């Protein structure tokens, strides 16, 4: 497999800012050896002491928020204020696991019927590989690293090729917080080297957040080598609007969530499914919001290639009869701007119906009943999250209970927080991160029985 160099390309200008060499095979072996030998001692550090180190990581994220946000803006175009928010979320995640981790990892007694005492212990398993994406370059690392550092696992982190600066900044935080050498190692690995790492008997698991394609390759490698894996893949989440006493509020909520991170969030409301009596007003209010955005005031998507791919999906829909109400203008190369768009009339013969639109495009569908809304919501290969809005919570809950997703929300686009588990079903992957379930993935749930 050919592999691009790790390089920073500013998506606002197309300028290559910095390039880093891919790791040598010897450096990969050094990383594996360091991670393996560090595990031998890190797993035996009392969890309260590991918590002190993880708390220091949280503090350093907070202290460096502005600097980290600026790196993300340069590397993948994230608006500065959103970069700061992302880093603050990382602080919350590391604090949550430092505080709650000892309780979450405590022994669980089992009721026995044959005498003796039995408990399930939650023990670390060893070195893990994390493969992380560019869209949330800090948060994605935090939700993988925080629980596993608390458990006593060690981490080899392979970040996306486009965000090497973010990767190095996190590695520096780990060092400065007192994470011992080898417990957290950043590698600029190639695709072939990823295969080498997963196959290495010292590695005990792999977590990937990324595309379906990457997920299927990594899952195959993990399976071949009998390694546990966690996959957080794409999403095409429905936001169902049944009725509302506050249309402006729901539209504002819908638009803000869809445009967050310039539309590049896995769990964004990519398919807005609106009841026919609200549909025209909903679309016209969304269109007003899109048209109110002045040229030069919105952020680029992550890369020129991403902008062109998104434009191709929208152009395909429009060529087959969909209506583009606003936006949808691709900037001249090499910049990666795509103006925030509103699209309706998407049908099954269009790519936009079945593919994930990873960028600032709000797609709105019209339905005539709760049953039709539910059928459309579930008519996707993905199953990450979804939401249902109604002035009648019972009506919304009835639909939300039937969503084929890992995260179902009522009258909220997404329940979010360090304590709220994140993950999906179907082609959105498997496994969970954050919350109590985040401590439950890469763990030896050892049964410990003592006879009377």
400/114 Cα distance (integer angstroms):
42
192/45 Cα distance (integer angstroms):
34
The one-character DSSP state at 152 is T
Counted residue by residue, the chain has a size of 452
Give the catalytic positions in this structure: 232, 266
225/406 Cα distance (integer angstroms):
27
Contact 101, 150 (CB under 8 A): yes
In sequence order, which residues have a C-beta less than 8 Å from that of residue 379 and are 6 or more positions away?
none
Q: Write down the residue that tokens 């029985």 correspond to.
A: 449
**Cis peptide before 177, with omega less than 30 degrees from 0?**
no
Q: Give the strand pairing for 341-344 and 323-326.
A: antiparallel
157/154 Cα distance (integer angstroms):
10
432/447 Cα distance (integer angstroms):
22
């Amino acid at each position: 497999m050919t592999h691009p160099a790790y390089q920073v390309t500013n998506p606002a200008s197309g300028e290559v800012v910095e390039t880093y060499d891919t790791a040598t095979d010897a450096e990969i072996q050094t990383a594996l050896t360091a991670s393996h030998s560090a595990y031998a001692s890190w797993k035996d550090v009392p969890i309260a002491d590991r918590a002190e180190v993880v708390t220091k990581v949280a503090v350093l994220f907070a202290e460096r928020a502005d600097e980290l946000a600026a790196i993300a803006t340069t590397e993948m175009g994230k608006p500065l204020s959103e970069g700061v928010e992302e880093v603050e979320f990382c602080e919350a995640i590391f604090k949550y696991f430092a505080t709650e981790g000892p309780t979450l990892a405590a022994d669980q007694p089992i009721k026995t019927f044959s005498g003796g005492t039995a408990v399930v212990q939650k023990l670390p398993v060893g070195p893990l590989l994390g493969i992380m994406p560019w869209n949330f370059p800090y948060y994605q690392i935090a939700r993988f690293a925080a629980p596993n550092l608390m458990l006593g696992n060690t981490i080899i982190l392979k970040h996306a090729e486009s965000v090497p600066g973010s990767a190095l900044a996190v590695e520096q935080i780990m060092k400065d917080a007192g994470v011992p050498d080898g417990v957290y190692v950043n590698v600029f690995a190639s695709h072939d080297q990823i295969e080498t790492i997963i196959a290495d008997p010292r590695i005990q698991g792999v977590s990937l957040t990324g595309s379906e394609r990457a997920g299927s390759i990594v899952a195959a490698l993990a399976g071949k080598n009998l390694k546990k894996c966690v996959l957080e893949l794409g999403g095409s989440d429905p936001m169902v609007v049944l009725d509302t006493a506050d249309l402006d509020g729901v539209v504002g909520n819908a638009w803000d969530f869809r445009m967050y991170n310039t539309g590049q969030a896995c769990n964004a409301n990519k398919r807005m499914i609106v009841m026919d009596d609200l549909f025209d007003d909903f679309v016209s209010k969304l269109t007003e919001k899109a048209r109110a955005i002045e040229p030069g005031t919105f952020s680029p998507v992550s890369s020129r290639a991403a902008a062109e791919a998104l434009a191709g999906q929208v152009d395909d829909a429009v060529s087959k009869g969909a209506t583009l109400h606003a936006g949808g203008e691709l900037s001249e190369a090499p910049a990666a701007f795509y103006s925030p768009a509103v699209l309706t009339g998407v049908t099954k013969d269009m790519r936009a119906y079945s593919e994930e639109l990873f960028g600032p495009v709000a797609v709105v569908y019209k339905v005539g009943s709760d049953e039709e809304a539910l059928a459309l919501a579930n008519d996707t290969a993905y199953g990450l999250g979804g939401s249902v809005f109604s002035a009648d919570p019972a009506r919304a809950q009835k639909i939300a209970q039937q969503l084929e997703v890992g995260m179902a929300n009522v009258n909220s686009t997404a329940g979010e927080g360090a304590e709220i588990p994140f993950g999906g079903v179907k082609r959105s992957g498997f496994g969970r991160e954050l919350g109590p379930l985040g401590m439950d993935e890469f763990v030896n749930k050892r049964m410990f029985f003592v006879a009377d």
